Amino acid sequence: MKKSLPCLFFLMVSSLFFAQEHISSFNAVTLTYQFHPKFFLYGEVQLRGIEDYAYPDYYESKGGIGYNLTPNHKPFVGIGRYATYKNHSLDKEEFRVWLQDILIFKYSVLKFENRFRAEKSWFYEPQKDLHSDRYRFRYRMNVSVPLNSKSISPGTVFANAYSEIFFVTEKPIFARNRLYGGFGYQVDEIFGVASGYLWQREFSSSGNKNLHFLYFALNINIDDSHEKHYHFPGAD
């Protein structure tokens, strides 16, 4: 399995060059604060350069609170604001709330994270003065494995891969598919970094679209408990 994750990453990157499509940027800073044995806070900010790698045209800020029902079962409720720009002007603004549930299964050093999410979004397009809304449902299978230790701790290098599918209540119902492969490094008890390649396939009645992201993230974990856990949310 440790050998297969780098191979998956190589195959996904290779597909980008054969497709001759441009690379976009995906940068994130996440904060997980375990302030109680059962409750934790989560926040994230993102900058993406979709049309131009070096110029951000998508901004995202979100957060919420989660509950450790068990160490491997973590319901969560979140809220966020999302903004897309075109020609340096706001093109679409989104306000989103969601309910999420995470179920984790472990086998040896492998960690399988199943994430289920239901979202409600409200959109505003200022250039058209248009309001709309949407329901969306997502499922992600995320697999991670430490490469130089038996578990993730300070100094650990790990590999990570996931697939995520998106469904909406309008046509086409199957709206998006994501594949990700990459690596991370837990620097110390607080800071971790991650990087990888994300392929995103958009489905719409007007035509399908591929997006290719290089992902970079700084993950900050503040855990007041005696037994620390390190969280790597992945590109979201």
**Topology of the domain covering 4-206+215-223:** Porin (2.40.160)
pLDDT along the chain (236 residues), means of 10: 53 52 95 93 97 94 96 96 95 98 95 97 96 97 94 93 96 95 95 97 90 97 80 82
Q: Does residue 94 contact residue 122 with C-beta atoms inside 8 Å?
A: yes
pLDDT at residue number 9: 53
Are 182 and 145 spatial neighbours (Cβ–Cβ below 8 Å)?
no
Q: For the chain, what are the domain ranges?
A: 4-206+215-223
Q: Residue 88: in which H helix or E strand, if any?
A: none
The 3-state DSSP class for residue 231 equals coil
Q: Residues 32, 198, 121, 72: what is their CA dihedral angle, to the nearest 10 degrees?
A: -40
Does the predicted TM-score (pTM) go above 0.85? yes
Render the burial of 28-51: b for 16+ CB within 10 Å, e for the rest.
Answer: bebbbbbeeeeebebbbebebbbe
Q: Residue 188 has what DSSP assignment?
A: S
Helix or strand or coil: residue 223?
strand
pLDDT at 76: 98
Q: Given this model, what pLDDT does residue 77 score?
A: 98
